[in-house]
Structures are given as structure tokens and as C-alpha cells.
Structure 1
Amino acid sequence: MKKLLFTITKKDFDIQTFRSGGKGGQHQNKVESGVRIIHRASGAVGESRTDRSQHRNRRFALERLTKSVKFKIWLNQMVHELTSGKTIEERVNEAMAPENLRIEMRGENGEWSCEESIGNKS
């Protein structure tokens, strides 16, 4: 059975409506049927102006947003953070800890040799 990791609500999005214009005459030019949805955390944008109905355009815009590359990257990062328990910053700090770093120097013979790790130096 699948476990719910997190939820996304309307509060996570900016929803903008606008006049879609173009073909469709007076209805398209006077009614705000176009919808743009922006996910604040990822910066992903979904937009639709194809339908006369704002409700259907809202659904289409949300579908486009969830299929966007930016949103998928953000979603994968969130899932990884929640399942591993570490944020990207924590993983970078752990990898860059002095005990994990090594200094390589070129010796007199021209070959590279690895010195002791930085954290172990006295």
C-alpha cells in the first residue's frame, strides 16, 4: 500500500486569470477565461487559454504544470528529502566535512599522490 508523503494545496500556488484573446470573438475578449498557475516552491508554470470555460482552463493549466520539467525535478527532490531525511544542503555539508576531503599533490617525480585527509592533520 502506498504511503502519503506530503500534500500540495491551493495555498502552494498563485492562480492568475486573464483575458485569453485571439479567436472566439467577444466572449474571448471580454471574459477572463485564460488561467496561469504558478507553483511558488518550484517556479513551474502551467497556462491554458484554449477553452471558453475558466474552470476547464484551470484544470488544463494544472495538468500542464504537473507535467513540466521544473515541477518534476522539485517533486523528485522533495521525495528524496522526505525518504532520506536529509536536505541537499545537509548532504553537501556532510560531503564537504574536513574528514571527507583529501589533498592531492604532485610529487618530485611528477606523479600525483594523495595526502591524509584535512580533518586528520594535527
Structure 2
Amino acid sequence: MKRKHLLSVTKKDFDIQTFRAGGKGGQHQNKTDSAVRIIHRDSGAVGLSRNDRSQHRNKKLALERLVKTSKFKLWINRRVHEIEVGETIEAQVEKEMNPNNLKIEFRENDKWILKE
């Protein structure tokens, strides 16, 4: 089965912040901006890494952690659904809440009766 390309996430979709990691590791870790925080703007998901002395490895780890977050996975699933169906979940709910689609029932003498 051939896969089709639904959406792409680029570097422009993220805020990449570097800062000093602090803690154990001595002077090198305290003086360099080796820790990395990556924030996906649309979903609000955050990936953080300060384990390594290298900023490049920390970027890779932070991105891997961001992709594994439930916020990011939920955002991906919603985007895929919007693309496949052609409308957002909110628009579908709004369409179903249209007065023409609503049915009103009431209970009388232990029986549900549809109001016409």
C-alpha cells in the first residue's frame, strides 16, 4: 500500500530556545547554552533536553521528546482528520447542532415520546 503525504511540519512551526542547563557538569555546562527547549506553536507541545553537553544532541533529544507528547499526537490526529474529512471537528459538531437535525424527546408514563 502506497503512503500519501498529508501534512508537513517544518522548522518554522517551532520555537527553539537555548539556555544554560546548570546543575552537575562543571564550568562548561554552566557557561554554555547547551540546554534546548522546543515548543510547537500550534499544539503547545514542549520538548526539553539538558542531559547532554552538546546543543546539537540536545536539540535532537528535545524534538524526539516533543513528538512523543500526547499534545502533539492529538494535534497530528486532528489535522489528519481535518484533511481527510474536509472540515474541523468543531464544524461537524456545529452542523449536528443545527435545529433541523435535533430531535426532542420527553418522558411520559415511563415511555419516551418524540416531540414533533
**Which TM bucket (shorter chain)?**
over 0.9
Find the counterpart in structure 1 of residue 49 from structure 2.
48
**CA-CA distance at 1:111 after TM superposition:** 2.6
Give percent identity, aligned residues only: 63
CA offsets 1:67-95 (integer angstroms, 9 cap, x no match): 00100000000001101111112101111
**CA-CA distance at 1:112 after TM superposition:** 2.4
Find the counterpart in structure 2 of residue 25 from structure 1.
26
Structure 2 CA distance for aligned equivalents of residues 85 and 95 of structure 1: 16
Moved over 4 A (4+): none
Structure 1 CA distance for aligned equivalents of residues 71 and 78 of structure 2: 11
What is the TM-score when the length of structure 1 is the normalising length?
0.90
Structure 2 CA distance for aligned equivalents of residues 110 and 63 of structure 1: 56
What is the TM-score when the length of structure 2 is the normalising length?
0.94
Which SS does the other structure have where 1:4 is aligned?
coil
Root-mean-square deviation (Å): 1.0
CA offsets 1:5-57 (integer angstroms, 9 cap, x no match): 11111111111101001111001100000000000110100000000000100
Which SS does the other structure have where 1:100 is aligned?
coil
Find the counterpart in structure 2 of residue 115 from structure 1.
115
How many residues are paired up?
115
Larger Rg: 1
Gaps of 5+ in 1: 117-122
Find the counterpart in structure 2 of residue 120 from structure 1.
none
Gaps of 5+ in 2: none
Structure 2 CA distance for aligned equivalents of residues 41 and 2 of structure 1: 25
